[in-house]
Amino acid sequence: MLKKISVRKASRICRHFSVDVPEMPRCDFVPEKYNGKDYASMQELRQRHLAPCITAMFKKPIVINQGHMQWLFDHKGKRYLDMFGGIVTVSVGHCHPKVVDVATKQINKLWHTSNIYLHPNIHEYAEKLTEKLPGDLKVVYFVNSGSEANDLAMLIARLHTGNFDIISLRNGYHGMTNHTMGVTAQSTWRYHVPANNGIHHVMNPDPFKGLWGGAKCRDSPVQTSRKCDCEGDECQATDMYYDQLEEVFKYSLPKGRVAAMFAESIQGVGGAIQYTKKYLKKAQELIHANGGLYVADEVQTGFGRTGEHFWGFEGHGVIPDVVTMAKGIGNGFPLAAVVTTPKIAECLTRALHFNTFGGNPVACAIGQAVLEVIEEEKTQERSKNIGTYLLKELEKLKDKWSVIGDVRGKGLMIGVELVEDSKNTPLGVPFMSHIVEQCKDMGLLIGKGGMNGNVLRIKPPMCITKEDADFTVKVLDNSIKTYAQHAKRNRPEYVFLEKNK
């Protein structure tokens, strides 16, 4: 196991090793000259005026001046490949020309009226959006963020069913309002305030780190190397996790009564965690049998990101009762939605309910433009093809470096879990921070996630190319290589070793 060290010491470990910086893919876009505050002033103003909980990424944060498709440019004009997409939010590309054009025309015509008046944008967009959903999911309520959407979904579930208790999966993330903090099941995102009234967190069916699961248990081009005895399409691990879910119904809920179960189709903040096959389908059947609704959180997995389907839940063979969506829906513009059936939506008429900015003319114009770009540019197909290629290339890195414990995901919803040893002990924060910092210095922006912050989150704008995927793998390979170099220099406690060497 690695000794605990500081970020500063981790940086010193690798300082004396040269790193080959791969050549970036070509980009002909020329950013505008930066005319804002100088770096030191911005740091001082941030510390003085922004809430201290708003922390910047990287030891030396970068100043973003401009974006173009998959590229970001800092205040000095340096170019970065954005493989995190503004935290899984930029879907079709930074400042996509069609989206910019639509937004500009609408903002010059009408910014805001609120939905107490009729306006074509909200009606046209609602029709286009619901056409993308299966079954009777035809009624939409527009809001501004994923947290808002999940908060409203909690209210809808309790009103419609007349039940109170809600189930969510451990390691899931559903927002940071006072209510959604309750269904979020990660201690790192929890304050010491009452938030869990009627909320039950159930065992997460994780094939990599959970009690059960292995190499045949998840729907991904890349499987965990953990062994399992599953045959064909049947997953024994799912049955065991389902038994744990039944235990919660048996011992913790009012008999036959539950309001809802919330589940991301692939856990995002939790580290791109996928579930065992058919778990969500069996869980939905149990929820329905006890009077509840299944709420699919598509905030990160929607709009073609998983490649094979437009919605992540489609990969689980289910049709939810409620779908929440945000992030990629507006390509970075504040926009979110709750979609449900006419029958369920009726419950909100029991009292006045209103959102001032929900269905804003500019937001709806942008949302519709995003849908059109996804169709016109075959973004979902690109997500599948490039994503599968990238996953397979990352799998080769896993076969090369012992520090990579797992590669997983679908489409461009990818996680790479870094570990210290064969027991999959999470890689320490200092080394994780240095790896991400080195990637940034070489022009690659990736995120971190997971309960222990040891998962590289790769979820870029869905316009990336095969060349971008190759660059990503080369940069990550070179970053890990510095640790392998050090391990050969009389420091055996650092085990970033190349396999078969």
Q: Which domains does the chain possess?
A: 7-92+379-487 (3.90.1150.10), 126-202+252-293+301-327 (3.40.640.10)
Nearest to 470 by CA among 380, 392, 377: 392
DSSP state of 156: H
Number of neighbours of residue 237 by Cβ within 10 angstroms:
25
Residue 421, pLDDT above cutoff 60:
yes
CA distance 37 to 497: 43
CA distance 125 to 140: 10
Residue 476, pLDDT above cutoff 60:
yes
pLDDT at 490: 44
Residue 6, pLDDT above cutoff 60:
no
Place 341 in a pLDDT band, splitting at 50, 70 and 90: very high
Average pLDDT over residues 398-419: 96
Residue 494, pLDDT above cutoff 80:
no
Number of neighbours of residue 490 by Cβ within 10 angstroms:
6
pLDDT at 3: 47
Backbone angles phi, psi at 60, to 5 degrees: -120, 95
Sign of the dihedral defined by the CA atoms of residues 196, 197, 199, 200, in that order: positive
CB 314 within 8 A of CB 137: no
pLDDT at 196: 84
CA distance 40 to 310: 44
408: β partners = 415
pLDDT at 2: 43
pLDDT at 216: 93
Nearest to 204 by CA among 290, 285, 262, 286: 262
Lowest mean pLDDT segment, chosen from 210-219, 310-319, 480-489 = 480-489
Place 495 in a pLDDT band, splitting at 50, 70 and 90: low
CA distance 180 to 339: 17
CA distance 262 to 434: 35
Residue 491, pLDDT above cutoff 80:
no
CA distance 334 to 358: 10
Q: pTM of the predicted model, to two decimals?
A: 0.94
Helix axes 379-400, 466-487, angle to 10 degrees: 20
pLDDT at 15: 53
β-sheet with 71-74: strand ranges across? 64-68, 71-74, 79-82, 444-445
Number of neighbours of residue 409 by Cβ within 10 angstroms:
28
Lowest mean pLDDT segment, chosen from 17-26, 305-314, 479-488 = 479-488
Task: Give Dmax (Cα) for the chain.
Answer: 72
pLDDT at 492: 54
Identity of residue 61? P
CA distance 260 to 465: 39
Average pLDDT over residues 325-344: 98
Question: Helix (H) and strand (E) counts for the chain?
Answer: 14, 15
- Residues in Cβ contact with 285 at an 8 Å cutoff, skipping those fewer than 6 apart: none
pLDDT at 231: 83
pLDDT at 484: 64
Place 7 in a pLDDT band, splitting at 50, 70 and 90: very low
Residue 284, pLDDT above cutoff 90:
yes
CA distance 196 to 178: 9
pLDDT at 488: 57
DSSP state of 383: H
Lowest mean pLDDT segment, chosen from 62-66, 194-198, 422-426, 490-494 = 490-494
Place 283 in a pLDDT band, splitting at 50, 70 and 90: very high
pLDDT at 376: 98
pLDDT tens across 97-110, in order?
A: 999 999 999 999 99
Token pair, residue 456, equals 């590289």
Sign of the dihedral defined by the CA atoms of residues 482, 74, 334, 176, in that order: positive
Mean pLDDT of the chain: 93
Helix axes 279-289, 236-251, angle to 10 degrees: 30
Q: Which burial class, exposed, middle or buried, applies to 132 when counting CB atoms under 10 A from its CB (0-12, 13-18, 19+)?
A: middle
Q: For 165, how many CA atoms within 13 A lie in the half-sphere containing its CB?
A: 17
Average pLDDT over residues 459-467: 98
Percentage of the residues of the chain whose pLDDT score is greater than 90: 85
Place 21 in a pLDDT band, splitting at 50, 70 and 90: confident
Lowest mean pLDDT segment, chosen from 6-15, 67-76, 165-174, 331-340 = 6-15
Nearest to 364 by CA among 5, 107, 66: 107
Give the DSSP H or E segment for 448: strand 447-449
Token pair, residue 493, equals 């406690």
Q: For 94, how many CA atoms within 13 A lie in the half-sphere containing its CB?
A: 22
pLDDT at 430: 83
68: β partners = 71
Q: For 89, how many CA atoms within 13 A lie in the half-sphere containing its CB?
A: 16
pLDDT at 428: 87
pLDDT at 141: 98
Token pair, residue 276, equals 């065992």
pLDDT tens across 431-459, in order?
A: 888 899 999 999 999 999 999 999 999 99
- Residues in Cβ contact with 203 at an 8 Å cutoff, skipping those fewer than 6 apart: 169, 170, 210, 211, 241, 244, 245
Place 349 in a pLDDT band, splitting at 50, 70 and 90: very high
